[in-house]
Amino acid sequence: MATLSELLPVEAVRLDVAAPDWREAVRAAGDLMVATGACTAAYTAEMIRNAADNGPYIVLAPGFAFAHARPSPAALRTGMSWVRLRRPVEFGHETNDPVTLVAGLAARDASAHTAAMAELARLLADPGAVRALHEARTPQAAHDVLTGRAEPLRSAVAGPGRGAVVHKILTVCGNGLGTSLFLKHTLEQVLDRWGWSRYVEVEATDTVSAKGKASEAVAVLTSREIARTLGDVGVPVRAVEDFTSAVEVDAVLRDTYDV
């Protein structure tokens, strides 16, 4: 699985980009991936359509949006981009607007980028790293923060062992490729801290698959927008506003298990 430094070249990082609205912010992220050979312009259009069709669930943390679409022929290789906007824009999210930082992902498949997503989720959970991304004066400086070359960030929490799994929790987004992986990583961190990792399996999936898999799970964690799309799936559907917040996910997990 590719790391963030392998998927995000410094040429795909731009700072202080002028974007009048969320569509142009997503387009800026897509244009960088086109310029670096990760996708065609058709993929950029697919990212915009994904956000338009599924709502602002891609705004997965305060001030941060993760633009992506399903794997398609328009994604030439798995790659990423990073945009810092000159002025924040509204995506329509109830709590995480306005957005200043936008990451783009062109995915060839559902697995090649999972390690990079874990890295990015960990970085965005670190207030010092987020501050450094806002204060970076050059694309290289921002790239150094994103790829861990600037200064040591907090160590990753060890991933959970599979062991004797008793329960399953689904983390869900529109495509099952990006935002759900952020939430999966944060949930696994919380479970690891609780000592519950061997008892709970976390699976990231998309909205269509989630409806079929819900019967296997004890709960579904997702955004408010996707929760509305899912409706009643027979198990509790818990909305999470900040997919990188271990504090919020901890509270949701406690509510789910009445701890």
pTM reported for the whole predicted model: 0.72
Residue 163's pLDDT is: 40
Residue 97's identity, in one-letter code, is D
Q: Find, among 54, 55, 27, 25, the residue nearest to 41 by Cα.
A: 27
What pLDDT does 121 receive? 86
Q: For residue 219, give every residue at least 6 positions away whose Cβ sits within 8 Å of its Cβ, in sequence order, or none.
A: 169, 170, 235, 236, 237, 238, 256
| Residues annotated as catalytic (active site), given as ranges | 68
Number of other CB atoms surrounding residue 152 within 10 Å: 6
Tens of pLDDT, residue by residue over 29-83, are 999 999 999 999 999 999 999 999 988 989 989 999 999 998 889 999 999 999 9
- Please tell me the distance from the alpha carbon of residue 114 to that of residue 178, in angstroms, as a whole number: 8
Whether the pLDDT of residue 154 is over 50: the answer is no
Query: How far apart are alpha carbons 72 and 49 in whole angstroms?
Result: 14
Tens of pLDDT, residues 108-147: 876 667 778 888 888 888 888 899 999 999 999 999 999 8
